[in-house]
């Protein structure tokens, strides 16, 4: 396409205005994991040892003030000089904090299952990455919505660029389709075991303790919420955060955007459970849960989940509740549907590291055919 070009940017904060519009539109279609505030906080707090490369497919007019950005792909790489002899690898600007990643597409096209993006745009971007100098040995993107055209076109684009591509399962994702129901309607459909537990534990807690539940949503409440959340988290069964600034940054960012739903349960004046939910563009995402182990027998975490469910269904009127990462057995009690998140890894068959990686992951016969095809082109 003669009227397009590839540019690479090294900062989320310094992106030109057309990119900001692109990320905003994509977030409206596919959720907050595609928003600039999400990426900015993630990169700032959790990728200190990596360099950012935001690949953008731009229309020729983008040099002016009103150009169009067709596609953006935020990637990172570690400085190879720190690991002599290591493969040069580009990876998604995503990690264990990310429940969804993908190309950021104009208008969100292709991020939902019904979208219809232009496959040529993916091919152009993949070709640009595959032909860069110095050469990339490996490109890895995850976790992605495998049921979308965007995922299929990423795989096809890197294959068309001459790389050996393997798709792989990452994790299951449980979610609830609200279907315009009230919380009362939803609660009646819960498994009887869960309904009975919620009713029994609620009566016991009220009878024996001074219990209070609150949901913080305002920017003015962010610091109070951070302090309570971190206190509960330190008293929970969970390991310390690998990147301790990420969650406070996420809470502040969500509060600024109006996305924050931070649920807190207090028992006799002490914070006993905390849950960080994100409500954005009609979807409530259950992001982070913790409870003080001293209160485990009270099921205070489940009671707090029920309060937050009631809030997002009856007050926020969301169309979907997303339990994000993992197939934990309790999630199916609260949710109605399951989907999968997958990744893709592309190996450059023109480099030794790429060939070695492909040999480890892809069958020998298929690899030989790919290698011959690539070197005939070369």
Rounded percentage of the chain residues whose pLDDT exceeds 90: 80
Model confidence at 87, pLDDT cuts 50, 70, 90, reads confident
Name residue 72's beta-bridge partners.
56, 104
**Dihedral sign computed on CA atoms, order 364, 368, 374, 375:** positive
CATH of 179-318, one of 3.30.200.20, 1.10.10.10, 3.10.20.70, 3.40.630.30: 3.40.630.30
pLDDT at position 308 is 99
pLDDT (mean) for 38-56 = 96
Which has the closest alpha carbon to 118: 285, 1, 15? 1
Alpha carbons 145 and 138: distance in angstroms, whole number: 21
Strand 69-78 to 89-92 pairing: antiparallel
Supply the pLDDT for residue 309: 99
User: 12: which residues sit within 8 A by CB, 6+ positions away?
Assistant: 36, 39, 40, 43, 52, 54, 74
Contacts with 173 (C-beta within 8 Å, 6 or more apart), sequence order: 99, 322, 323, 324, 325, 326, 338, 339, 340, 341
What does residue 50 show for φ and ψ, rounded to 5 degrees? Answer: -125, 155
The CA-atom distances, in angstroms, between 223 and each of 211, 217, 220, 236, 256 are 22, 12, 7, 20, 12
Q: Can you tell me the mean pLDDT for 288-305? A: 96
The confidence band for 377, taking pLDDT boundaries of 50, 70 and 90, is low
When the pLDDT of each residue in the chain is averaged and rounded to a whole number, the result is 91
* 166 closest CA partner among 31, 371, 304, 360: 360
Question: Is the Cβ–Cβ distance between 54 and 72 less than 8 Å?
Answer: yes
Average pLDDT over residues 1-28: 90
CATH number of 4-171+340-377: 3.40.630.30
Q: Nearest CA to 166 among 366, 372, 377, 376? A: 366
* Cis-peptide, bond into residue 121, ω within 30° of zero: no
CA 187 vs. chain centroid, Å, equals: 28
Q: What pTM value is reported for the model?
A: 0.91
The pLDDT-based confidence of 364 (bands split at 50, 70, 90) is low
Domain boundaries, the chain: 4-171+340-377, 179-318
Give the pLDDT of residue 108.
47
- How many CB atoms within 10 Å of residue 103? 27
User: Given pLDDT bands bounded at 50, 70 and 90, which one contains residue 110?
Assistant: very low
CA–CA separation, 79 and 58 (whole Å):
27
For residues 228-250, average pLDDT: 95
Residue 369: per-residue pLDDT: 58
Segment (H or E) for 50: strand 50-59
Phi-psi region of 296 (alpha: psi -120 to 50; beta: other; left: phi over 0): alpha
Using the structure block, give the residue that is written with the tokens 């994509």: 26
* CATH topology match: 4-171+340-377 vs 179-318: yes
* Residue among 145, 141, 152, 147 nearest 118 (CA): 152
Tokens 């200190």, residue located: 48
Task: Grade residue 65 by pLDDT with cuts at 50, 70 and 90.
Answer: very low
Q: Which two tokens stand for residue 161?
A: 């660029």
Classify 14 as helix, strand or coil: coil
Residue 63 has pLDDT above 70, yes or no: no
Q: For the residues 224-241, what does the mean pLDDT come to?
A: 95
| pLDDT beyond 60 at 342 | yes
Indicate the angle between helix axes 149-160 and 119-130, nearest 10 degrees.
40
Find out whether the peptide bond into 351 is cis, omega within 30 degrees of 0. Answer: no
- Residue 313 CB neighbours (<10 A): 23
Contact 215, 263 (CB under 8 A): yes
CB 316 within 8 A of CB 155: no
* pLDDT confidence tier of residue 327, bands split at 50, 70 and 90: very high
Task: Measure the CA–CA gap between 244 and 41, rounded to whole angstroms.
Answer: 12
Mean pLDDT of 8-32: 94
The pLDDT value recorded for residue 4 is: 85
Mean pLDDT in residue range 177-190? 98
Q: What is the pLDDT of residue 198?
A: 98
Give the pLDDT score at 48.
87
């Amino acid at each position: 396409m003669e009227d397009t070009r590839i540019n690479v940017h090294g900062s989320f904060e310094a992106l030109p205005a057309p990119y900001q519009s692109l990320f905003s539109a994509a977030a409206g279609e596919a959720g907050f994991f595609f928003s600039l505030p999400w990426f900015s906080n993630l990169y700032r707090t959790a990728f200190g040892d990596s360099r950012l490369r935001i690949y953008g497919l731009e229309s020729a007019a983008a040099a002016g003030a009103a150009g169009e950005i067709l596609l953006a792909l935020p990637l990172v790489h570690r400085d190879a000089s720190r690991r002599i002899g290591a493969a040069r690898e580009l990876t998604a600007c995503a990690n264990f904090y990310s429940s969804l990643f993908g190309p950021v597409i104009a208008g969100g096209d292709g991020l939902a299952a019904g979208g219809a993006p232009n496959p040529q745009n993916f091919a152009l971007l993949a070709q640009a990455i595959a032909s860069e100098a110095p050469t990339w040995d490996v490109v890895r993107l995850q976790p992605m919505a495998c049921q979308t055209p965007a995922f299929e076109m990423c795989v096809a684009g890197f294959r068309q660029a001459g790389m050996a591509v393997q798709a792989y399962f990452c994790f299951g994702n449980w979610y609830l389709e609200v279907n315009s129901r009230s919380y009362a309607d939803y609660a009646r459909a819960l498994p009887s075991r869960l309904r009975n537990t919620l009713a029994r534990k609620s009566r016991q807690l009220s009878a024996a303790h001074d219990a209070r539940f609150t949901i913080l949503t305002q920017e003015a409440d962010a610091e109070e919420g951070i302090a309570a959340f971190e206190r509960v988290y330190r008293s929970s069964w969970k390991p310390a955060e690998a990147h301790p600034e990420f969650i406070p940054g996420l809470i502040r960012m969500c509060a600024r955007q109006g996305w924050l739903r931070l649920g807190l349960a207090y028992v006799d004046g002490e914070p006993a459970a905390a849950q960080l939910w994100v409500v954005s563009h009609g979807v409530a995402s259950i992001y982070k849960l913790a409870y003080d182990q001293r209160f485990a027998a009270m099921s205070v975490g489940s009671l707090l989940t029920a309060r937050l469910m009631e809030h997002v269904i009856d007050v926020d009127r969301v169309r979907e509740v997303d339990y994000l990462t993992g197939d934990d057995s309790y999630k199916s009690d609260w949710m109605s549907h399951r989907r999968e998140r997958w990744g893709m890894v592309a190996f450059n068959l023109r480099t030794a590291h790429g060939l070695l990686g492909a040999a480890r992951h892809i069958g020998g016969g298929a690899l030989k055919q790919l290698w011959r095809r690539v070197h005939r082109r070369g």
